[in-house]
């Protein structure tokens, strides 16, 4: 592959690398294809990787003691996904990740990341900034769950994931917003009536 066409530039958009650094990174990332319905990660598994979504859509969910599903995150093109609690602390997964639309992913292990950071400081900067953005968006989401009515949380969701509604099931969205599918339908009708 010509260095300038390397997937590395797509994954780490905006970062400059030398040809040698591109080689190093390419040796540590691995392409994965998934079909709709495939499971990427199951509760209790040890989490070695985080995943860059190049195409498709995935969903992170959690099943509570009563057997009810809760969607924590959707990941679409250009997002990273993993059970980060488990990934960062090297503990078993507390969440499941499933593919909800045929997907192409690139995975990188925690060990690879740490060794690449030592060689390529701008990669560590990239991930630090990614984490900052993700942290800020989680902070906003916690605020929203404490303070915003479901209708506003639905609007914010549509802004974050503009094309997602065609691809995911209603109960996924409802469980992401922490509401019933009936409430979701009502909110949608009210939004469209405006």
Binding residues for a second copy (CB under 8 A):
62, 64, 68, 70, 72, 84-85, 88-89, 94-95, 117, 121, 124-125, 127-128, 131-143, 145-148, 175, 178
Residues 26, 17: contact at Cβ < 8 Å? no
| Cβ nearer to a second copy, comparing 9 with 126 | 126
| Cβ nearer to a second copy, comparing 130 with 188 | 130
Q: What is the DSSP letter of 75?
A: E
Residues 85, 41: contact at Cβ < 8 Å? no
Taking the complex as a whole, the smallest distance from the CB of residue 134 to a second copy amounts, in Å, to 6
Taking the complex as a whole, the smallest distance from the CB of residue 66 to a second copy amounts, in Å, to 9
Taking the complex as a whole, the smallest distance from the CB of residue 75 to a second copy amounts, in Å, to 13
Q: Cα separation of 144 and 117, whole Å?
A: 34
| Cβ nearer to a second copy, comparing 135 with 171 | 135
Residues 155, 191: contact at Cβ < 8 Å? yes
Q: Where do we find the tokens 């914010």?
A: 156
Taking the complex as a whole, the smallest distance from the CB of residue 35 to a second copy amounts, in Å, to 27
| Cβ nearer to a second copy, comparing 102 with 124 | 124
Q: Which two tokens stand for residue 104?
A: 């192409």
By residue count, the chain amounts to: 194
Taking the complex as a whole, the smallest distance from the CB of residue 101 to a second copy amounts, in Å, to 23
Residues 80, 51: contact at Cβ < 8 Å? yes
Cα angle value 13/14/18 (rounded, 5°): 95
Q: What are phi and psi of 176, to 5 degrees?
A: -70, -40
| Cβ nearer to a second copy, comparing 9 with 117 | 117
């Amino acid at each position: 592959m010509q260095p300038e066409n390397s997937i590395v530039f797509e994954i780490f958009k905006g970062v400059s690398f030398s040809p040698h650094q591109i080689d190093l990174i390419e040796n540590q990332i691995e392409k994965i294809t998934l079909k709709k319905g495939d499971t990427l990660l199951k509760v209790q598994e040890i989490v070695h990787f985080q995943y860059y979504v190049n195409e498709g859509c995935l969903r992170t969910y959690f099943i509570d003691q009563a057997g009810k599903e809760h969607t924590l995150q959707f990941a679409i093109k250009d997002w990273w996904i993993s059970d980060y609690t488990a990934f960062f602390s090297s503990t078993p997964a507390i969440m499941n990740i499933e593919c909800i639309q045929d997907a192409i992913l690139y995975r990188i292990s925690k060990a690879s990341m740490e060794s690449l950071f030592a060689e390529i400081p701008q990669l560590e900067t990239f991930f630090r900034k990614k984490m900052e953005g993700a942290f800020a968006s989680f902070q906003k989401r916690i605020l929203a769950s404490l303070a915003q009515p479901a209708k506003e949380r639905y609007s914010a969701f549509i802004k974050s994931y503009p094309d997602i509604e065609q691809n995911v099931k209603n109960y996924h969205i409802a469980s992401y917003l922490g509401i019933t599918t009936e409430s979701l339908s009502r909110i949608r009708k009210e939004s469209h009536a405006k």
